[in-house]
Structure 1
Amino acid sequence: MLKGVLIDWGGVLTTGLSDAIAEWVVAERLDADHYRTVMRDLIMQAYGGSANGENAIHALERGEISGFDFERSLAARLVTTDGVPPVAEGLLTRMFAGFRRVEPMYAMLREARAAGLRTCLLSNSWGNEYPRQDWEDFFDEVVISGEIGMRKPEPRIFEHALGKIGLAGQECVFIDDIEANITAARELGIVGVHHRDPELTIAELETLFGVSLR
């Protein structure tokens, strides 16, 4: 019987990362093609199962390097349409400024808790600040990668989150927008839901749990 929800933040409880990044690229006047090349290599290595070892994203998400150090490293690799690097300080804050809260997903969590389900935020952080002002209304537990030295898709972070809410993998559903994270969760027996659209995700969760979440 399913009793818990593990859920990502960026791109699931917020609007999509690609939209936020597109806003930021325009505002920052970045060379968009160059940005995509740089980030494609970093992201593929971080989440694509590359055999080439670790990169700065792994360290950032585990909190092994500061957001400021990552900003300086990334800014040095990017270029604006004026042919100069963007300002490093505050780069990550500006990058994620386009995230918007997705209210139907938060309403789903409120209904899930009202139905007796345990809920846990499970998010990889990029040194960013989270809007935590009302999280006690939605989450029984919060697991942020940079605060505990683990990151998705490492199995240990899922095991840590399960321990926090006191449930087995087979009793939980995990919602994320990154396929590699879903795959890792499923290998631990957790039911994976690949988030693409709030309405589709909520409908799938209602089917899985057998309760209304709207």
Structure 2
Amino acid sequence: MDGIRRGVISDWCGVLTPPLPDGIRSWLKADRIDIDHYYEVTRPYFDGSLAENPVHALERGEIDTCEFERQLAGLLRSVHGGPVVAEGLLTRMFAGFDPVHDMYEVLREARRAGASTAVLSNSWGNGYPRSHFATTFDAVVVSGEVGMRKPEPRIYLHTCEQLGLSPEDCVFIDDLESNVRSAEELGMAGIVHTGVESTRRALEEFLAPGRRTQAV
């Protein structure tokens, strides 16, 4: 164990929401999009094969959501082989990502016990539950608002700076192992999120005894 940590930084999608694959599949079904075709045509966005990746540009705020929606919709097809409506595509995509209230409570417990907290999210231009953020976090870092994205080291360092802490002071929680490993390389303690209870227990190991979260 790396010792006592005084800050907790959490991802949003997949940690404070249901798992990303579940939300995406719900959207594909609701929009009647050909699911197999979706995964086939979007694979290059996520396998590192694109030199210029529209997803990365969107996450950094380098292209606007309307342009990305047009690009993505142009790749997709409906279950009947027809076109997919571009306008509002990202809003529909994220419609099912409801708050996981128990995970918010884990972070609020840590904050009430004295830990500084932040959310660090790679944004697709989607809306966020800002009312929940206001009662949970001392800092909010959204990739498209700062021109950086995970797993770039500078966005982790920026988030630590917003809390007035060093990376060695912080725990980072994310559902993507690659993002967690990048944080660990900077000196943070890392938790790969797979569920509320496992994350709560792991977080307790990094917080001082007086800051231990309570079971939800």
TM-score, normalising length from structure 2?
A: 0.93
User: Counterpart of 1:64?
Assistant: 62
Q: Give matches, 1:112-127, under 5 Å.
A: 112-127=110-125
Aligned residues between the structures: 209
- C-alpha displacement of 1:213: 3.5
In 2, Cα distance between equivalents of 1:111 and 1:205: 11
1:3 to 1, 6, 10: 6
Q: Are 1:31 and 2:50 an aligned pair?
A: no
Cα displacement (A) at 1:26: 0.9
The match for 2:192 among 194, 205, 208 is 194
**Unpaired segments ≥5 residues, structure 2:** none
Aligned to 1:133, the other structure's residue is in SS state: helix
Q: Residues 111-158 of structure 1, C-alpha deviation per residue, up to 9 Å, x if partnerless?
A: 111110000110000010111024221000000000010000000000
User: In the alignment, which residue of structure 1 is the partner of 2:17?
Assistant: 14
1:16, distance to aligned residue in structure 2 (A):
1.0
**Superposed CA offset, 1:25-70 (max 9, x none):** 111111111101122221122xxxx5x4230011000000011110
CA contact (8 A) 2:41 2:76 kept: yes
Secondary structure of the corresponding residue to residue 205 of structure 2: helix
- Structure 1: runs of 5 or more not aligned: none
Distance (Å, rounded) in 2 between the aligned partners of 1:67 and 1:213: 39
Q: What is the 5 A alignment of 1:89-168?
A: 89-168=87-166
Alignment match, 1:82: 80
1:181, 1:212 → 2: CA distance? 24
User: Quick one: distance in 1 between partners of 2:76 and 2:70?
Assistant: 10
For residue 103 of structure 1, report the CA deviation from its aligned partner. 1.0
Q: Which amino acid aligns with 2:14?
A: G
2: CA distance, partners of 1:22 / 1:108: 27
Q: Percent identity?
A: 53
Question: 2: CA distance between counterparts of 1:107 and 1:5?
Answer: 13
| Residue 212 (str. 1) matches residue 213 (str. 2) | yes
Amino acid at match of 1:24: W
CA distance in 2, matches of 1:174, 1:91: 30
Distance across 1 between alignment mates of 2:141 and 2:214? 23
- Asked if 2 retains the 8 angstrom alpha-carbon contact of 1:162 and 1:168, the reply is yes
8 Å CA contact 2:174–2:192 kept in 1: the answer is yes
SS of the residue aligned with 1:163?
A: helix
Q: Which amino acid aligns with 1:86?
A: V
- Alignment partner of 2:130: what SS? coil
The root-mean-square deviation of aligned C-alpha atoms, in Å, is 1.1
Native 8 Å contact 1:107 1:213 kept in 2: no
How many angstroms does 1:198 deviate by?
A: 1.0
Give the 3-state SS of the residue equivalent to 1:208 in structure 2: coil
Separation of aligned partners in 2, 1:200 and 1:126: 28
Cα distance in 2 for residues equivalent to 1:16 and 1:144: 19
